[in-house]
Amino acid sequence: MVGRGRQQCGDDLTRQLSLVSGLILFAFATTHFLNHAVGLFDLETMDRVQSWRLAVTRSLPGTVVLAAALVTHIVAGLSKLVMRRTLRLPAWELAQLFLGLAIPFLLFPHIVSTHVANLRFGIQDSYLYELARLWPDSAATQIALLAVVWTHSCLGIHHWLKVRAWYRTAQPVLLLIAIVVPLAAVAGFVVSGRAVAALLADQEIYERMRALTHWPNPFNDAKLNAYALVARIAFGTILALIAFAIMVRRIAMLAAPRIAITYAGGPKVQSPVGPTLLEISRANGVAHASYCGGRARCGTCRVRITEGAAALPAPSLAERFTLARIKAPADARLACQIRPTAPLGVVCLVQAEGETPSAEPAAIQTGGESGGLQPVCLLYVQMRDIDHIARDRLAYDLLFILNEFFAAAGSAIDRNGGWVDKFLGDGLLAVFGQQHGLRRGTLEALQAARAIDFALDRLNEKVAAEIGREVRVSMGVHCGSFVIGRIGLGKTSVQSVVGLGPNVAQQLAKFAEAQGWQVTLSADVAAQAGISDVTHRQSLTLAGEPAVIEAIGFARGRDIEIADVTEAAGLPAS
């Protein structure tokens, strides 16, 4: 247990060091690229800006900070690679990983030809010197280095900031900057490179440039090339050793004892001890949300521990901070932080992006492009208190709760012969009776209302503790003949109910909430279903309409007593 706790602390420290060192390097790269961009104007200004920049970066403190940041970032990245138990990662993580591994191969020769050359042989590595050496033979390599460094950095910063509330507002401006800076840098490099090449076409100017910059002689040049080659070989050797270590560990994991991880509503998998729960999910193809990529920042990978919580070490500081920020319940943990050592039972609390709800709607009975009047029963279901639930929550959290609610309601609707017409924010409209007629459709809608009430019990077992309150709904049921047809443009057209019917069902649901009921039926629905023994009956004036209808209320959907749908409708079971 102590060892696992130390490993968590080590993981937290590695992440923090990687972030801080990465930000330092990004600041250096940004100023360097902006210096390139000055080449769009003239070489003299480009060199002057470089002298200001080098006064900071080539000072003793600047050199120490930059060197420490570079070594720390590389070591932290390689350490994280060594610790990974699976390479089944989201596309953006894989891209950032491989770009990060490519950077040293491209960067080390550049460092050798500039900073090392300056320290070792006294070469004045001004822009004039750099451009003369790089343009045009090494221009493509230099542009590739710029693109790889910038893309790797922007991916990391984006996925670091995207969990911040202010980031969505600032994102368009930051995206514009992320596009403009590298384009301007490349353009400045190309323009200044061509300008230098044109200048050096004059042999006299070329000789003066070599004298001014202390151009390396062939012997020194060979040494610099050797240094660059050694640096590349050394880094390649480190990567080979890491690959070998990963392979050995992989073989050892195949023979190691395994523990059972049981996902509520999902599979039961066997995993060796060592990987985080998020890595176990990825390695076994279990959909598991992870908005920040497993860095303990967003909380979307959180799970509720239903079995084996006592065997887990206490949360690290980073995990405690994130769980507190998102107001997670006491039995919630971050899957990216826990490394199970004993059998574990978990409930994933956020639906993974791209994962579809378990319930698929029933097939829609199309009525043709022109549509027409059809007798159907409409059920409108709306979640209550959505404003309170949404308060101080991440977008992912709110979408998770809504999708769980829609999945529960959609499953009940589908099982009882209905189909979802439309989603209206925190509510949905379902249609019954197109296939078997109005009477059976009405009974199916009421049976669905009962099923939704019971489904809420199961839903609240999963999310009530998470959101600090139970999910409650209001339902309105109305029937009649309504226009149903396809609306929209071309391939985006959908079949939908139009006219007053959906509005009545929605107002019945709002009336139910105002009266403290869960379900309100119109009198027409009660007549179709043969319901006469009711406790709550009131007149309802429809908003925006002169009509007054009789509204019949039920405290809970399960209180609606109806016979077996097929028997009551006098139809054979479908």
The DSSP bridge pattern shows strands 427-432 and 302-307 to be unpaired
pLDDT at 45 over 60: yes
The CATH class, in words, for 372-569 is alpha beta
* Residue 525, pLDDT above cutoff 70: yes
Q: Would you state the structure tokens that stand for residue 179, as one six-digit string?
A: 């596009």
pLDDT by residue (tens digit) across 112-171?
Answer: 999 999 999 999 988 889 999 999 999 999 999 999 999 999 999 998 888 777 887 898
Residues 183, 188, 194, CA angle at the centre, nearest 5°?
Answer: 130
275: exposed, middle or buried (Cβ count in 10 Å: 0-12, 13-18, 19+) = buried
The string of pLDDT tens digits covering residues 81-116 is 888 877 778 888 899 999 999 999 999 999 999 999
| pLDDT score recorded for residue 566 | 46
Identify the pLDDT of residue 353. 55
Strand partners, 552: 521, 537
- pLDDT in the model for residue 259: 92
Is the backbone peptide bond immediately before 546 cis, with ω within 30 degrees of 0? no
CATH entry, 258-348, from 3.30.1490.20, 3.40.30.10, 3.10.20.30, 3.40.1390.10: 3.10.20.30
**403-448 pLDDT per residue, tens:** 888 888 988 998 888 888 888 888 999 999 987 889 999 999 999 9
The per-residue pLDDT for 283 is: 87
What stretch(es) of the chain map to CATH 3.10.20.30?
258-348
Output the six-digit token pair for 252: 């050892």
Say what the pLDDT of residue 20 is. 94
Q: Do 152 and 112 contact (CB within 8 A), yes or no?
A: no
Retrieve residue 293's tokens: 């990529």
CB atoms within 10 A of CB 169: 9
If phi over 0 gives left and psi between -120 and 50 gives alpha, with beta otherwise, what is residue 385? left
Tell me the average pLDDT across 247-274.
84
Point out the least confidently predicted range of 50-54, 235-239, 347-351, 453-457: 347-351
Secondary structure string (H, E, C) spanning 450-508: HHHHHHHHHHHHHHHHHHCCCCCEEEEEEEEEEEEEEECCHHHCEEEEECHHHHHHHHH
SS3 110: helix
Q: Which residue matches tokens 């033979």?
A: 137
Provide mean pLDDT across the span 181-190: 96
- Distance CA(271)–CA(261), nearest Å, equals 7
Q: What is the pLDDT of residue 354?
A: 46
Which secondary-structure segment (H or E) carries 170? helix 167-199
CA atoms within 13 A on the CB side of 423: 11
> For the segment 469-485, what is each residue's pLDDT rounded down to a tens digit?
888 999 999 999 888 88
Q: How confident is the model at residue 491 (pLDDT cuts 50, 70, 90)?
A: low
pLDDT at 385 over 90: no
Work out the mean pLDDT of the chain and round it to a whole number: 85
448 neighbors 348 (Cβ within 8 angstroms): no
User: Which amino acid makes up residue 492?
Assistant: T
| pLDDT greater at residue 361 or residue 179 | 179
Strands 536-541 and 548-554: antiparallel
Whether the predicted pLDDT of 517 surpasses 90: yes
The single-letter code of the amino acid at 361 is: P
Determine how many CB atoms are found less than 10 A away from the CB of residue 377. Answer: 34
At 571 the pLDDT is: 46
Q: What residues contact residue 23 under an 8 Å CB cut-off, 6+ apart?
A: none
pLDDT of residue 358 exceeding 50, the answer is no
Asked which of 75-79, 217-221, 282-286, 386-390 is least confident by mean pLDDT, the reply is 386-390
d(CA 496, CA 371): 9
Question: Is pLDDT larger for residue 505 or for residue 9?
Answer: 505
Distance CA 212, CA 402 (A): 69
Contact assessment for residue 70 and residue 108, using Cβ atoms and an 8 Å cutoff: no
Question: Is residue 220 classed exposed, middle or buried when 0-12, 13-18 and 19+ CB atoms within 10 A define those classes?
Answer: middle
Q: Could you tell me the two tokens for 223?
A: 């040494």
Q: What is the pLDDT of residue 369?
A: 45
Distance, CA of 354 to CA of 357 (rounded, Å): 10
The band of 402, judged by pLDDT with boundaries at 50, 70 and 90, is confident
Residue 284's SS3 state is: coil
| pLDDT number for residue 267 | 84
Confidence band for 543, pLDDT divided at 50, 70 and 90: confident
Mean of the pLDDT values across residues 514-542? 88
Of 446, 415, 423, nearest in space to 530 by CA: 446
Tell me which of 31 and 300 has the higher pLDDT.
31
Residue 428 and residue 496 in contact, taking contact as beta carbons nearer than 8 Å: no
Q: Is the four-CA dihedral 478, 483, 488, 492 of positive or negative sign?
A: positive
Quick one: pLDDT at residue 63?
93
Adjacent-strand bridge partners of 430:
379, 420
Residue 400 has pLDDT above 70, yes or no: yes
Residue 61 pLDDT class (50, 70, 90 cuts): very high
Choose between 34 and 362: higher pLDDT. 34
CATH 3.30.70.1230 intervals, the chain:
372-569
Q: For position 367, what pLDDT does the model report?
A: 43
The tokens for 507 are 């107002």
Q: Cα(first)–Cα(last) distance of the chain, in Å?
A: 57
Whether the per-residue pLDDT at 535 is higher than 70: the answer is yes
Of residues 337 and 565, the one with the higher pLDDT is: 337
Q: What percent of the chain has a predicted confidence (pLDDT) above 70?
A: 90
For residues 297-303, give the mean pLDDT: 85
- Rounded to two decimals, the pTM is 0.61
Per residue in 187-210, pLDDT (tens digit) is 999 999 999 999 999 999 999 999
Percent of the chain with pLDDT over 90: 48
379-389: average pLDDT: 87
Contact between residue 433 and residue 367 where contact means Cβ atoms under 8 Å apart:
no
